[in-house]
Amino acid sequence: MKIGVVGLGLIGGSIAKELKLRSFGSIEVFGVDNNPEHSQKASDLDLVNGIIDLDSACQQCDVIIVAVPVNIIERILLQILDKIDDNVTVFDVGSTKKEICNAVKSHKMRRRFVASHPLAGTERSGPEAALINLFNGKKNIICEEKFSDKDAIDNTMKIFDFLGMKSYFLSADEHDKHMAYVSHLSHVTSFALSQTVLDIEKDEKQIFNLASTGFATTARLAKCNPVTWAAIFEKNSTYLSEALGVYIQKMTEFKKLVDSVDVKGIHSSIVEANEITRVLKGIELNKTS
């Protein structure tokens, strides 16, 4: 089987690496990347069997995986759907789904496309961030499956199975809403935290001397790639804005409690937040299942 991976960053690179390394030659992986440095790096790191262009990928590959930033997926996907024939399966791995699904909705080859989102990643980026086992034990989401051919879905799920992921079905709208709250919002809280303390550092040079692991874990996502994440926020701006609105309101309420030194109110607010313990236990369980 020949698989083309378009975009050799963290996600594309990790998929390529794992397919190539673990298939013992039964899968040939071809990389497509318009950044020559990425292509060179991916070759040097042995993530792929070869580098080809998009046209060749459309002609030669059985499966094409689109792993470019979400603001470029639509364009690349339409190009691919224009060029492939009926035997080819195409799926993307973008972190937003609604606008992508809308963009290809009326394409005559829509049914060869499977809208996917493997819930995995790190705050690193580029081919050198590619990791074996990045996906193992985690979830993959497939959206609008009713518009995809059954064999295209089967082919897609087989690849995610191979990566150790379980696939779930969700509407594109629900996907984007949920991601705004449980993923995108987390990133913005890290950005604002980092910016706040970096601002203060201008006057208080030694402030980070007292930072410990609590700060490090809450600020970690601020290391993420600006190109990838600006695109995600662009494509999910409505739901992210809604989530930010609720969040800022919670913060503002908490600040009021602090301003009035309302210790009882602060205590109740923390007890309310403590309820997250139930959820975090679930995440740990999911990781090992």
Using CB under 8 A as the binding rule, the residues of this chain from 97 to 156 that contact a copy of itself are 119-121, 138-139, 141
Q: How far is the CB of 145 from a copy of itself (least distance, A)?
A: 16
Q: With respect to a copy of itself, which residue has the nearer C-beta, 21 or 273?
A: 273
Q: 64: closest CA among 49, 48, 81?
A: 81
Q: How far is the CB of 9 from a copy of itself (least distance, A)?
A: 16
3-state SS track over the chain: CEEEEECCCHHHHHHHHHHHHHCCCCCEEEEECCCHHHHHHHHHCCCCCEECCHHHHHHHCCEEEECCCHHHHHHHHHHHHHHCCCCCEEEECCCCCHHHHHHHCCCCCHHHEEEEEECCCCCCCCHHHCCCCCCCCCEEEEECHHHCCHHHHHHHHHHHHHCCCEEEEECHHHHHHHHHHHHHHHHHHHHHHHHHHHHHHCCCCCHHHHCCHHHHHHHHHHHCCHHHHHHHHHHCHHHHHHHHHHHHHHHHHHHHHHHCCCHHHHHHHHHHHHCHHHHHHHHHHHHHC
Q: How far is the CB of 237 from a copy of itself (least distance, A)?
A: 5
- Residues 261 and 244: their CA atoms lie apart, in Å, by 25
Q: With respect to a copy of itself, which residue has the nearer C-beta, 45 or 266?
A: 266
2 scored as a contact of a copy of itself (CB under 8 A): no
Residue range at the interface with a copy of itself (CB under 8 A); choices 81-89, 107-115, 159-167, 190-198: 190-198
Q: With respect to a copy of itself, which residue has the nearer C-beta, 151 or 174?
A: 174
Q: With respect to a copy of itself, which residue has the nearer C-beta, 90 or 179?
A: 179
Selected from 59, 87, 133, 195, the binder of a copy of itself by CB under 8 A is 195
Q: With respect to a copy of itself, which residue has the nearer C-beta, 162 or 247?
A: 247
Contact 1, 62 (CB under 8 A): yes
Contact 13, 47 (CB under 8 A): yes
Question: x/- binding map, residues 244-283, to a copy of itself, per CB under 8 A?
Answer: xxxxx-xxx-xx--xx-x-x--xx-xxxxxxxxx-xx-xx
Contacts to a copy of itself from residues 56-85, by CB under 8 A: 71
Q: How far is the CB of 41 from a copy of itself (least distance, A)?
A: 20
Q: With respect to a copy of itself, which residue has the nearer C-beta, 50 or 282?
A: 282
Q: With respect to a copy of itself, which residue has the nearer C-beta, 21 or 283?
A: 283
Q: How far is the CB of 39 from a copy of itself (least distance, A)?
A: 24
Number of residues counted as binding a copy of itself (CB under 8 A)? 95
Residue range at the interface with a copy of itself (CB under 8 A); choices 8-16, 49-57, 148-156, 239-247: 239-247
Separation of CA 28 from chain center: 24
Residue range at the interface with a copy of itself (CB under 8 A); choices 73-81, 103-111, 148-156, 166-174: 166-174
Taking the C-alpha atoms of 18, 21, 23 and 25 in order, what is their torsion angle to the nearest 10 degrees? Answer: 140
Contacts to a copy of itself from residues 200-219, by CB under 8 A: 200, 204, 206-219
